[in-house]
Structure 1
Amino acid sequence: MLLTGFGSFLALIYLAILVIAVVAFVFAAIAREDAYRAADKQTKMFWLIILGVTVAVNLLVPMLFLQLAGLVASIVFMVDVRPALQQVSGGGRRGGGSSSDGPYGPYNGGR
């Protein structure tokens, strides 16, 4: 019974790793090529190959070591490359203002 529970837990971990890899691959695919150069990151093709291999490994080769290496690549893309691409592309917060900006300018608590 304990092994069955551990097996289903491990299956959920593998599924989570696969979902992260697929999401990172999709974000890499829809970003513009010139945004990678402007953000001073590796090329779009580099990230598509790395993340594509990661998705393929997760689907076809159930080796935990390779899946963990792909997870590291996916996390690097999501926390380093994607925010840089969004910043260069003008994504993220509209207008580039701070979180305390209201519709008519900055809100500073009536000061």
Structure 2
Amino acid sequence: MGPVDTAQSLTGVILLVLWLAALGAAIFALIHAVRQRPDAFTAVDKMTKQIWLAILGVAILLLLIAPFSFGLLAFIAIVATGVYMADVRPKVDEVQRGPRW
């Protein structure tokens, strides 16, 4: 096994770990969205719960279609999951939990 083979196998392992992390985050986001009240999404001026469930479901499908490849489909799925996790999820949680003092 030469240095090129070692580099390729290392790259494969790194891509696998990144793909698993992206898939795990998308699944976590979908489970989170399923467990929230529908009115919480509209209360914080975000798209409806059904739309977010569809977006996150498609994101998971896109990641499963092309495993281990980070092409355009995977990029779209990662961005959609990131938007939910960074923007929607905190606001939905806050509106259901109430203000913190």
TM-score by length of 1: 0.78
RMSD: 1.4
Partner of 2:3: none
From 23, 26, 30, the equivalent of 2:35 is 30
Tell me how far 1:53 sits from its aligned partner.
Answer: 0.5
Q: 1-side partners of 2:23 and 2:78: how far apart? A: 8
| Gap regions ≥5 residues in structure 1 | 98-111
| Aligned pairs (5 A) from 1:90-105 | 90=97, 96-97=100-101
Q: Which has the higher helix share?
A: 2
Choose 1 or 2 for highest CA Rg.
1
- Alignment-derived partner of residue 26 in structure 2: 21
Structure 2: unaligned runs, 5 residues or longer: 1-5
Which runs of structure 1 show a deviation greater than 6 angstroms over 4 or more consecutive aligned residues? Answer: none
Partner residue of 1:73?
Answer: 80
What is the deviation of 1:67? 0.9
- Match of 1:74, as an amino acid? T
Tell me if 1:54 matches 2:54: no
| SS across alignment from 2:47 | coil
Question: For 1:57 and 1:72, how far apart are their aligned partners in 2?
Answer: 12
| Structure-2-length-normalised TM-score | 0.85
Q: How many residues align?
A: 94
| Higher relative contact order (Cα pairs below 8 Å, separated by 6+ residues) | 2
SS at match of 1:96: coil
State the alpha-carbon separation in 2 of the partners of residues 2 and 79 from structure 1: 33
My pick for the range that moved more, 59-68 or 46-55, is 59-68
Percent identical across equivalent pairs? 37
